[in-house]
A and B are shown apart, each in its own frame.
Chain A
Amino acid sequence: MRNRIERSRYAQIALTYTKPLPIRIWAASTAIGVLWIAVTTVLVGTTDSGVHAAMLFLGGSMAVWVGAMIAAHAKEQLADPRASLVPHFRTPHLVVAAVMFLVLVIGLASAVAGLQAWVAVHDVSLTGYLAFVLVLTALLAWMAQLQSPAMLIPIAAVLSPVMFADGRAWLSEILRGGAPKTGYVLLSASIAALVALWWRLSRMHEEMPDYACGVSPGLRLKVRMTGDPIFRRENAAGASRIETFVRHAARFDYVPNIAAAGFWRRARHWRHVIGTGRMPIFVAALLGVWVPLLHSTMTKDDVGLMVALVAASMVPGQMFAATWPRRWYVLGEESLRPASRRQFLREQGAAMALEYALTWAWLSAVTFTSATLFARWPYGVFAQLMMALPLMAGVQVLIFGILVWILRFRAGWLIIAPIFLVTAIGLAALIAGGTMAHAREVGMIMLVAALLTVAGVGITLDAYRRWLVTELD
């Protein structure tokens, strides 16, 4: 009798990993991804090592992501009063999480590495590969746990070898299995970190500072009760000093009255709360600084070019895909401010467009300048960037339209999809733009840019039409 209850308890917990729709979507995409890796690996066979490296990377990323999600899911279940009050709560949850982790993460990583080894192009050491995957997973999992900017330090430390040629050589040694001891050390360290995380989860209680950090706040956009504990935690986190500084709250010390102001004045006013404040400046600065850093460690010329193109193609879209859905929290109330529905939607749209355009301009300007300044042949790089620019601009219009179109839907999981969509589109634009600029196909670039712009405008107008009949609350 007791066995049956215990077994059903484990089964119930396992179900929490498979039932929610977002997780099912994740599982489906991961399965597709794995299948694709397997097929590609086998098809490509012994020929191209670049593709194999990409497969390894992809497989490893998926394993890392799955691991971090499991840790985050476990945290959500254990950072809860029930963990302390319900008997036999913690152990089964931790056990199931650990089992999931072993099967999915280590299993996935091992499968990918094993497949590579079997096809025998790369000498992939299982230890080394697993070490990589687990180190990154441990970092992400702890990041999800602590949600503290202090985590950036160990992440930067771990990623720093990538910056230097010697570092990169060392890393590939580990991957090939040429430095087994280092591999084992890294493996042990990451396992220790993960065990430490599991131990912390088993001890989770209210007094801990990381108890209150919402793990996946954006995934639930349905309007919530005042007093909802998760929302209150988010609120408390949202009032941190960093948030206040980044959001530039000081602007609100004096807010001019816009009741009778014109359209553009009002649209600019909305930017106060639609935008991300000073965040674009920080991101731009970060990327701008990263360029010379990369240059000093890499021999390839166009690394600065790459960064600039990435910044100009996908970063703004990603930023807004991640932050705009949160507007839904206040959209209903804001829609009751004195303005007709059409007026309101147009102003919001204009504000969002302004914000997007300015962010893009900032990011592009800073990264283009940085890339040009630190390139070995500045003129060449500058020319390429300028040629690719129209395409980058055009694709932003398209991305904006798509984001605004998708934003109408309030399903939680739709937050993640746009980010990946933006990344995919941005990547396509980057590759196309980079290639065409390199080949000096200016005419082609202008044509594609024009097409993208027209498509983007069309989608935006259609989105506006649909927004007019969307319930705002």
Chain B
Amino acid sequence: MSDAPIAPRAPLQLRRVHKYYGASVAALDGVDWSVPAGSVVGLLGQNAAGKTTLIKTALGLLRPTRGEAQIFGEDAWDLPAAVKARIGYVPQVITLYPWLRVRQLINYTASFYPHWNDELVRTLALNWAIPREEKVGNLSVGTLQKLAIVLALGHEPELLVLDEPAASLDPGARRDFLRTILDIAADGRRTILFSTHITSDLERVADRVAILRAGKITYDGELDELKDSVKRLHVTAEAPLPPTFSVPGTVRLKIEGNEALVSVRDVSEKIVDDIRRNYAATVGVQDLNLEDIFLELHHA
């Protein structure tokens, strides 16, 4: 269910990408996906759904077995230096040089980029209480994660990719992180992609959601549209519902005598009216938040 037109120089694009480990394990099984410029996209998926593999393949760290991955129109495996200067990456596994102090690591990272915003880095480090004189090896996990994010922002990339960025952050730090993401997204010129399984974070900042399941993108579109179209219907009929009770676009169905709970993918007035007419029932439409939607879509 992909509605995004494939733009020629989209910040990130995957075309018919397959990634096999060994002969049989397909981490990515035919992924067609692109991230439009200026959007904040959340990549959602269960653990081991392949989110990290997808991100790494999209960035050229892994090589697709079949298909193409492109960043700003260039082949991801062979990105030229100029394109790499426009991307920032925060990996899920943060490995830095433990024997360097924070300020030394910042210096070292900055030395590679033609453009580096010292002021921004300094402000962020201050706001996030990252001790500049402390050795990286002695930092706590949460601080390490914040530091990794700061290092990825220093060169003000046009495409920022984060893999489970908030996993180790406490709620206060997560809120700060989301605020920073919003600040970055505010001018609309930057594209942000982050993978997570924390749906509440996505709901706050993302305008697009992509759901990865069993190596395929099963939804790629606007978050609002997803919330508007996936609903749970509470059907109460006057007579017991027949086993042939069906609704188009059903994701999950549970019938109990006179009542039924139906999760529907593309709800519309017509569907609701049809149920009312055909089964002489009242229909309550329940809104589902992203977590509910995710669970409904994955229950099978």
Contacts and interface: CB of A to CB of B under 8 A. Distances in A.
A472 B108 contact: no
Contact of B111 (A223, A226, A237, A269): A269
Nearest to A243: B99
A343 B81 contact: yes
Interface string B259-300: 000000000000000000000000000000000000000000
16 contacts: A224-B93, A226-B144, A226-B168, A227-B168, A234-B98, A236-B98, A238-B137, A243-B98, A252-B107, A252-B108, A255-B108, A255-B111, A259-B114, A260-B114, A337-B84, A473-B56
Contact of B61 (A252, A257, A343, A473): A473
A249 B56 contact: no
Interface stretch (B23-31, B72-80, B120-128, B248-256): B72-80
B141 A227 contact: yes
Contacts, number: 128
Interface stretch (A6-14, A99-107, A328-336): A328-336
B104 A249 contact: yes
A471 B62 contact: yes
B1 interface: no
A25 interface: no
A122 interface: no
A339 interface: yes
Interface residues of A, number: 46
B81 A333 contact: no
A157 to B, nearest CB: 30
B113 A340 contact: no
Interface string A202-238: 0000000000000000000001111100011011111
Contacts of A238: 97-99, 137
Nearest to B113: A259
A168 to B, nearest CB: 40
Contacts of B110: 255, 257
Contact of B84 (A237, A272, A339, A469): A339
A239 interface: yes
Nearest to A233: B137
A234 B96 CA distance: 12
Contacts of A243: 98-99
Interface in A96-140: none
Given A239-B136, A333-B89, A471-B61, A226 B94 contact: yes
Contacts of B145: 226
A473 B87 CA distance: 17
B91 A333 contact: yes
A255 B105 CA distance: 10
A273 B108 CA distance: 10
Contacts of B116: 257
Nearest to B101: A249
Given A224-B93, A252-B104, A244 B99 contact: yes
